[in-house]
Amino acid sequence: VQVQGMTGNIQFDTYGRRTNYTIDVYEVKASGSRKAGYWNEYERFVPALDLLPSNDTSSVENRTIVVTTILESPYVMYKKNHEQLEGNERYEGYCVDLASEIAKHVGIKYKLSIVGDGKYGARDPETKIWNGMVGELVYG
């Protein structure tokens, strides 16, 4: 199976793992975002060439980034013993592994946050209010 999606080529190997892809990685700050590099299956994280060391205190260093997501197999799932675990250790899946690897390579701390309503996000046509992950991003 091979299709073009929002993250580019979507193709899986015989084991069901995504293959032949490159995903852009962005650094998010209060002042905006910029491309920090890219990630692929072979090189893993590759920083952008124009990134220079900076004393900018608004960067993600020394902060814990909240990663908002929903439970959706096989991407984010509770581990069987999740009640006995804490924090990010409660979860498993493709996106969980990807977030962990990115955090290691980039050197950031993060916290997975599951959206309470379990929805990706849609705007109510009457109230004009967003729900789901989109609502979390829009309203905080």
Domain of residue 39: give its range.
Answer: 1-49
66 in any annotated domain: yes
Q: In whole angstroms, what is the distance from residue 45 CA to residue 2 CA?
A: 23
pLDDT over 90 (residue 50): no
* Encoded tokens for 108: 């950031």
Domain tally, the chain: 2
Would you call 91 exposed, middle or buried from its count of C-beta atoms within 10 A (0-12, 13-18, 19+)?
buried
Q: Confidence band (pLDDT; 50, 70, 90) for 55?
A: low
74, 14: one domain: no
43, 76: one domain: no
pLDDT over 90 (residue 41): no
54 in any annotated domain: no
26, 67: one domain: no
Top-confidence residue, 53 or 134:
134
117 in any annotated domain: yes
* Encoded tokens for 19: 């293959």
23, 81: one domain: no
104, 75: one domain: yes
61-103: pLDDT as tens digits: 678 889 999 999 999 999 999 999 999 999 999 999 999 999 9
